[in-house]
Structure 1
Amino acid sequence: MPKTRLRGVRKPPQCARPVTDLAQPQLALRILLTIVVGSAGGAVFAWLKLPLPWMLGSLCAVTLAALMGAPMRFTQRGRSVMAVVLGVLLGSTFTPDLFARLGSLLSMLGVLAIYVFASMALGMGYFLWIAKQDRVTAYFCSAPGGFAEMILVGEAMGAEPRQLSLAHAVRVLMTVLAVPLWFRYGADIPSSDMVRPMVLAIPWQDGGILVACGVAGWFVASRIKLGAAPMLGPMAFSAAAHISGLTEFAPPFWLVAAAQVALGAAAGARFAGLALAVVGRALAIALGWSVLLLGLLAALAKAAEHLAGFDYAVVMLAMAPAGMAEMGLVALALGIDTAFVSTVQVIRLTSVVVLTPSLFRLLGWKREAPS
């Protein structure tokens, strides 16, 4: 079957691929360059006192460098190690109070279902009629799931990989950038660089507990083949340790900042290989979809606030179509119910990646060859 090609794209944006031979000088230099660029961007954002400076600064700097042709590269293993740190951090926000709000959680899942189905319906229309994509590619471009998961599932089902990668990469990028900036400058919600005091060191006993949560959580989650194992396993173990009172500490600030730089750099490096000057239309289509998706979320969050009494900020963060780690960090920086937000994000990502291919099989669609 002939494959469609997206003009101007030299190589699709993709999750950083696993690297087994870090001794290769060229590859090692590219990774080092990416870390340096990301750290510099984070430092500039911190100096400007912007929200989530280390993650957003790294993301912006590496993305810009990649689009300008710099050889940005990050490894999946490196991202996974830093995801463990963020999982332990997010788990430290869980308290027994979360169980007392199961009713609110169930109600939120109803709002989430409305958002997912509405976004996919809107996306199908947009990608079919505006972007002129085939219906299989349009379907999987519309799904508000995790970046890597939707790429893998969509390609396996026959979606055009380059358009699929670009649509989801820009969606995640725009959400991670727009949501914290909106809360800082547009929604009149106070923000802080870290809700908790910036702890540079913690007692060795508590440090040992946190390390054990990270290592054991990642190991167990990997053995049971849980999706996003480096994040979800450590978060679950850390949540159990903090709910039980085993420890009250979170990872130190310097380690969290390093993890944020890595997370931003990994996201920005997905754009390596794209020439900005020659993919203008494709980027414009992806950007337009991101704006529509965030607009739909904002409208639904406002409706849920007025009709059901939900907190606007909680709805926005809990259902924002980006990664769980990024939105969890935004919630933490804003002091907005991080445990609740993280829980709903896990459910969103899991349900979309499970239900999207199942519904697709029921529809019986196949990708048509271009005429």
Structure 2
Amino acid sequence: MNKLRPIVLVMILVATCLLVSTPANAFGPSVLFAPSGDCNRPYCTTYAKSVQTNSGRILASFEDNNQPAQGQTLPIFSSTNNGQSWTKIAAVADTSPRRWGSNWTNPYLYVLPQAIGGMPAGTVLLAGIASPPDRSGTAIELYRSNDDGFTWTWVSEVAVGGGEWGSANPTPIWEPYLLVANNKLIVYYSDERDKANHDQKIVHQTSTDGVHWGPVVEDVAMADRALRPGMPVVTRMANGQYLMVFEMVGQADTPNNYKISSNPESWNASDGGTTIDHGGSPFVITLPNGRLAYNSHGSTDIRINTNNGAGAWTPVRTTMPRGYSRMLQYVRGTGRVLILSVEGCRTGRRSCSGRTTAGTTSTGT
């Protein structure tokens, strides 16, 4: 997590053309979510994430501080028309044995492409950060849904960290990202528990059943302990190799870097990668045509790479504003990509407009 940059507050979902360098002609937006009343944190809504289930339904979740910290839940919104309209179908409460009482932040949604343990292919997973209401601890908790996101069951606890900054033990963990590879479920995340050596590093843990988790493995851990690599996102490219993008807080303008590995469990942790752009909070996906689509907080553009990470990352203009933790979601059957973005302003009470909206346009993929 980047503790240096303000987090913006409005979420917008729009798709953009990925084949030509002309502005996208998005239609919409339609409202997904609009906060009302006070928020329990200056960042009222942030970390919007989505997934498309095997039925074609699109699910979205986000950190929603427009509710009391005690009993806070991760909302689940659903769209059955490719993002044009949305309905809240669930609120995932902290039902883990820890019972801290707040499913707080950093939701990540994922559909299993194969069976993992007792969970069949097509199971929808939700990883997120649970915390006590005073944010004195953090834990990555994993939930599952077998009915397209309407009901959720706790599966396991991946890892436990200390509290957020300002707490008595500020050694939190953040930003889980899920991937299945090597017949394992991998959870990558940002880790602040090794303060003697690294202010923050990127690590992962693996499981063959989603319940029992292996040891912590370093993926990006810099010799300069003041650097804070974080917000990992990993995609399998068309050539079978894996590409990880991450931000490098602590360097000028917050570079967004990438590195490539043939094994998603081995990343040469001392390698800080190659810079794509600046501004933090990168995200990348592999499109069906093999191209990589990438964006970050630093620009309104999407960048396209046509050579499995090598060579140029070509900017493509969009009508979208910049956004913190801006998500890209390819929509099967339409050839469209949704951008989920959180943009707006900071305030200690209400988030300016705080609306979550949606719109789409063809990508031509």
TM-score bin (small chain):
under 0.3
* TM-score normalised over the length of structure 2: 0.21
Structure having the higher Rg = 1
Structure with bigger strand share is 2
Q: Would you tell me which structure has more helix in proportion to its own residues?
A: 1
